[in-house]
Amino acid sequence: MTSAGHQPGNQNARLAWLFALPALLGLLVFVLLPFVLSVILSFTNLRLGSPLPLEFMGFSQYQRIFTDQAFLAALRNNALFALIVVPLQTGLALLLALLVNQPLRGMVLFRSLFFMPVVFPLSLVAVVWILVFAPGPQGLLNQVLETITLGSWQARDFLHDPAWALPAISLTSIWQGVGFQMVILLAALQGIAHELYEAAKVDGANRWQQFVCITLPQLRNAIIFVVLVTTILAFRLFDQVQIMTQGGPNHATTTVMYEAVNSAFGSQQVARAAAMTVVFFTIVLLITLLQRAVSRHERVIE
């Protein structure tokens, strides 16, 4: 693809390196290097600030975390959270995008409203939602649910109830994140050529058929992108857990990142936290590769 003989190959390569060098250098020094260090540390017993000599411990950190109830619960919770949030958030985002895409007045206002939570820092969102989930009949959510169910709702302490804590956090995350996905899907929606719909109408397709046969396939790439990013972010869940539930009750909401940060800064066990993040990275990498493989496979079939 090189142009007609103007640039010899290695000059092109040198130029490319010049273009890419600052970013690659930054990534190398500030992301890759610390991560590699993390991997190395996961084989030791490094403790924050300990005057004791560092020791090599082989795989014992890994052994320990995989026999730790809290860590196993964290893995399970991360998976559950991703399974709940990714489809729900994507589905809701699609719904919102479809609604806001109507050629009606005031859509820009609605669009801004739905995107607004994205602008909030997660820590602030968590603090506000603590109030929303306030226990007792005076709690906001409890009140709303009581009104909707015409009085048959029992007031619950969502954040301290093992069954409701993770759904509560999921709701908070969905609230905060759906606006971003909506914008992506909306943009993709607006990129679909009208002629496709016209042609379908001429062929006699009803609204549902149009949706399934035109809209969804055209949105395919956008949806894949959104699902991929949301999955990665779902596994990084940390802020809300730290502020709202501190991993409880009974490990119902602890996550891998939460366990890792607490190990490092709460219990000062850096090496253990390093092992957790290595496991985290591996899992997410596998899932990401899997998702890409599946999506590529489907594309081939089409």
Partner 1 sequence: MWLRKLPILVLSGLLGIFPLLGGCDRQSEADLMVLHVWAHAGQEAERRVLQAQLERYNQQSDKIQLKLTFIPERDYNAQVQAAALAGDLPDVLEFDGPYLYNYIWQRHLMPLEDVLPRALLDDLLPSIVAQGSYGQHLYSVGVYDSGLGLYARKGALQKIGARIPASAADAWSIDEFNQVLRQLAARDDDQAVLDIKLNYSGEWYTYGFSPLLQSAGADLIERERYQASDGTINSPAAVSAIQQLQTWIRLGYVDPNLDDAAFTSGRVALSWVGHWEYERYRNVHKEDLLVLPLPDFGQGSRTGQGSWNWGISRHSRNSRAAAQFIEFLMQADEVLVMCDANGAVPGTKSAVQQSALYGRQGPLALFARQLMQGVSVPRPKTPAYPVITTEFQKAFQQIRSGGDAKQALDVAAQKIDQDIRDNQGYPFLQ
Partner 2 sequence: MNDKQRIRMLSVYLVLTALAFMFLVPVAMMLFGSFKPDDQVLLQAGRLGSLLPAEFSWFNYQDVFARVPFARYLFNSAFISFCIVAGGLLVNSLAAYAFARLQWPGRDWVLLVVVALMIIPLEAIAVPLFYEVTLLGWRDTYWVQIIPFIANAFSIYLFYSFFLSLPRELEEAARIDGAGPWRIFFRIVAPNAKPVFATVAILSFLTQWGALLWPLMVTHSEAVRPLPLGIATFYSLPPLQWGDIFAFGVMMVTPVLLIFVLFQRWFVQGVATTGVKG
| CA 79, 83, 88, 91 torsion-angle sign | positive
Q: Does 16 bind partner 1 (CB under 8 A)?
A: no
- Residue 240 touching partner 1 (CB under 8 A): no
Q: Residue 262 interacts with partner 1 (CB under 8 A)?
A: yes
The one of partner 1, partner 2, none whose footprint includes residue 160, by CB under 5 to 8 A per kind, is partner 1
49 binds, among partner 1, partner 2, none (CB under 5 to 8 A by kind): partner 1
State the Cα–Cα distance between residues 296 and 256, nearest whole angstrom.
Answer: 29
40 binds partner 1, rule: CB under 8 A: yes
The residue assigned the tokens 């969502």 is: 158
Q: Minimum distance between the CB of residue 224 and partner 2, rounded to whole angstroms?
A: 8
Of 35, 47, 107, 120, the residue at the interface with partner 1 (CB under 8 A) is: 47
Smallest Cα–Cα separation from 175: which of 94, 251, 89?
Answer: 89
Q: Which is nearer to partner 1, 109 or 131 (CB)?
A: 131
Of these partners, partner 1, partner 2, none, which one is at the site of residue 267 (CB under 5 to 8 Å by kind)? Answer: partner 1
What is the H or E stretch that residue 60 is in? helix 60-66
* 168 close to 252: Cβ distance less than 8 angstroms: no
Structure tokens at 7: 């640039």
Binding segment toward partner 1, per CB under 8 A, in 141-149, 166-174, 245-253, 286-294: 245-253
Q: Closest approach of Cβ 45 to partner 2, in Å?
A: 14
Task: Report the run of H or E that residue 215 belongs to, with start and end.
Answer: none
Q: What is the DSSP letter of 155?
A: P
Shortest separation between residue 225's beta carbon and partner 2, angstroms: 4
As to burial, measured by CB atoms within 10 angstroms (0-12 exposed, 13-18 middle, 19+ buried), residue 16 is exposed
Using the rule CB under 8 A, is 52 a contact of partner 1? yes
Q: Is 160 in the site for partner 1 (CB under 8 A)?
A: yes
Q: Is 250 in the site for partner 1 (CB under 8 A)?
A: yes
Please, which residue, 9 or 204, has the CB nearer to partner 2? 9
Look at residues 164, 172, 195 and name the one whose alpha carbon lies nearest to residue 120: 172
Check: CB of residue 250 under 8 Å from CB of residue 162.
yes
83 makes contact, choosing from partner 2, partner 1, none, with CB < 5 to 8 Å by partner type, with: none
Of the candidate spans 112-120, 205-213, 227-235, 260-268, the one that interacts with partner 1 by CB under 8 A turns out to be 260-268
Residue 151 Cβ, how far from partner 1 at the closest point, in Å?
19
Cβ 64 to partner 2, closest distance in Å?
18
Coarse DSSP helix, strand, coil percentages of the chain, rounded to the nearest 5 percent: 75, 0, 25
